[in-house]
Homo-oligomer: A and B are copies of this chain.
Amino acid sequence: MTQSNRQILLVSRPEGAASVDNFRLVETPLAPLAEGQVRVRNHWLSLDPYMRGRMNDSKSYAAPQPLDAVMIGGTAGEVVESLNRKFKVGDRVVGMAGWQEYGTSDGSDLHVVETKHVPLAAYLGPVGMPGATAWYGLNRIIAPQAGQTVVVSAASGAVGSVVGQLAKRAGCHAVGIAGGAEKCRYVVETLGFDACVDYKAGDLYQQLKAATPQGVDGYFENVGGDVLNATLARMNAGGRIAVCGMIAGYDGEPIPLKHPQLLLTQRLLVQGFIVTEHLDVWPKALSELGALVAKKQLVYRESIAEGLENAPTAFLGMLKGQNFGKQLVKLA
């Protein structure tokens, strides 16, 4: 069967802010499968902040995304053709096929998932990389005890929403930071956080102080910049900061940490991490998270763009916080 595959390539690197001009949509014929290969029709593409880092040709935690190649990205879909005995047509799989409608591989990057109790797209969200990220940063770095205060930035997002809900389940006082009244309301009323600070509404530090009367023991950092500065000033002695994202600085304008001496005076632990370097915890994390999703004990929300052609715009919007929940692209 001859079909064509639509793909989005990175064709130039951003100078300052990323723009739609950095991407190009192309249509490519699908070659026949070779022995051992699998072809997946991707139903869902995940858009994540780390992709912005890959667009730069600079020292980061991974090699830069090559130019004129399909943009990297997590995907979930269905096997439509298989010359690999480990996969059969109809299998639901997650992988890293990138920004394209069809993925073709030897299968080593694919995992078959069950979709009776857990929706396929959830494997790109709470039961996928964002969920594992939340689980690792909270349990392995912050390691909160019942009664402690845990703050998470980008609290309504794919990672932050899981962090806060897991913190609540651990008996903590969970406080979110998010942009806008609507997101904050969602964080408290739907996700069940104890409080949420709207960084767009007035003095961030004063709001945070009011929301964390006992100070902050654990901080899950998804944002950086002013939010990090404000939270750092609320940290209790012995506090732990899991640094997962620095979205505020991705466009090449680093925002300084104003008071590094607090690291010493409060004896803080700060640990930057990327969850793909901790694959050993994924089975445990995803099994716990999958069970919670199946029992509807973990709430999550998706922001869905329709069609591959809209992926760049959705991605740029996400970098500006315009999404509300896990940003996905529905490919078919």
Contacts and interface: CB of A to CB of B under 8 A. Distances in A.
Interface of A: 53, 59-61, 224, 228, 237, 243-246, 249-250, 254-261, 263-274, 277
Contacts of A244: 264
Given A257-B257, A260-B254, A273 B267 contact: yes
How many copies of this protein are present in the complex? 2
Contacts of A243: 263-264
A132 B237 CA distance: 21
Interface centre among A249, A258, A260 (most CB of B within 10 A): A260
Contact of A259 (B60, B254, B263): B254
Contacts of A224: 260-261, 264
A61 B265 contact: yes
Contact of A269 (B60, B257, B269): B269
Interface of A is mostly: loop
Nearest to A274: B267
A269 B243 CA distance: 10
B237 A264 contact: no
Nearest to A225: B260
15 contacts: A59-B265, A60-B265, A246-B261, A246-B264, A250-B261, A254-B260, A256-B259, A257-B257, A266-B272, A267-B273, A268-B270, A269-B271, A269-B272, A270-B270, A270-B271
A88 to B, nearest CB: 38
A243 B277 CA distance: 25
A264 B61 contact: yes
B267 A61 contact: yes
A167 to B, nearest CB: 21
Given A256-B257, A257-B256, A264 B277 contact: no
A111 B61 CA distance: 49
Contact of A258 (B254, B266, B271): B254
Nearest to A267: B272
Given A264-B274, A268-B272, 20 more contacts: A59-B265, A59-B266, A60-B265, A61-B237, A243-B263, A245-B264, A249-B261, A254-B259, A256-B256, A256-B259, A257-B257, A257-B260, A263-B270, A265-B272, A266-B272, A267-B271, A269-B269, A269-B270, A269-B271, A270-B270
